[in-house]
Amino acid sequence: MIVYNFGSINIDHVYRVSHFVRPGETMTSNDYQQVLGGKGANQSIALGRAQCSVQHVGAISKNDSLLLNTLIDSGVSTTHVALSDVPTGHAIIQVNDDAENAIVLFAGANHELSLAQIDEVLSQANKEDWVLLQNETNNIDLIIQRAKHFGLSVAFNPAPMNTKIVKPLMNDIDLLIVNEVEAMDLCDVDSVALAQASLQTDYPNLKIILTLGRQGVRYLNQGEMVEVPAFKVDAVDTTAAGDTFIGYALAGLQSSLSIEDTLRQACAASALCVMKHGASSAIPTLPQVADFMEQHNA
């Protein structure tokens, strides 16, 4: 089975700061890094390092082709990454002393996906393959429509959340992966419990993975709920934690692991990720995750 990830590829500009900059404030950063990023790229790297077969579909500037090396080195196929005249997407990321982040995005070439490119990729897929999407590229609705036309399953991580884009697509996806804030925004409620109830009522056939940060994760499927706690670690950078979890979770679903073991492995990968600075560079390999789980008797 193959995961076709129609996802963003960004250049991340990461600034270490004592606090997030306030309106009208000019401040000096404590450190700066320029690294590969984007939710799409990070999730592909996590899938690749989890030893899942993944093909990334997207676009970058023709001047930035070296960005693909990290994807390739992580086991990701970049055959379907187009080289464009449009600048590569980028992100300005502030990481504060509490390991929280604030991010500003520029879409750039991430919004250059065409219907021809979409159909060229999906026409090669088999019906047991999956399509993975975030909300950082264009033509999300067309990708889902064409994926269903070709009989593929669709996993959707609607981040950054835009309810006007996301809500019309909900009945056409198979797996929704959201964090607690995204779930509350999607349902226009102010508690996780209300969001969970709303999602299960409105979309009874939808499989849902609801991540709860330090509280762990819940898997919801037609009245069934599987809950797995998070590992307790000292976090230094949460930038790629969610993307790492998603990559490992989807990889687990493609394997023979039970849903509980899949979520536990994804939580372990995410825990390892937050213990390191960086985005894609912090995403662990499957042997590293296995060692971590053995050390924690998981």
Hunting for tokens 């320029």 — which residue is that? 34
Number of Cβ within 10 Å of residue 106's Cβ equals: 13
DSSP for the chain, written as a single string: --EEEE---EEEEEEE-SSPPPTT-----SEEEEEEE-HHHHHHHHHHHTT--EEEEEEEEGGGGGGHHHHHHTTEEEEEEEEESSPPEEEEEEE-TTS-EEEEEE-GGGG---HHHHHHHHTT--TT-EEEE-SSSS-HHHHHHHHHHTT-EEEE---S--HHHHGGGGGG-SEEEEEHHHHHHHHT-SSHHHHHHHHHHH-TT-EEEEE-GGG-EEEEETTEEEEEPPP----S--TTHHHHHHHHHHHHHTTT--HHHHHHHHHHHHHHHHTSSSSGGGPPPHHHHHHHHHHTT-
- Among candidate residues 249, 237, 163, the one with its CA nearest the CA of residue 207: 249
**Distance from C-alpha of 270 to C-alpha of 264, rounded to nearest angstrom:** 10
Number of Cβ within 10 Å of residue 142's Cβ equals: 15
Q: Which residues are catalytic?
A: 243
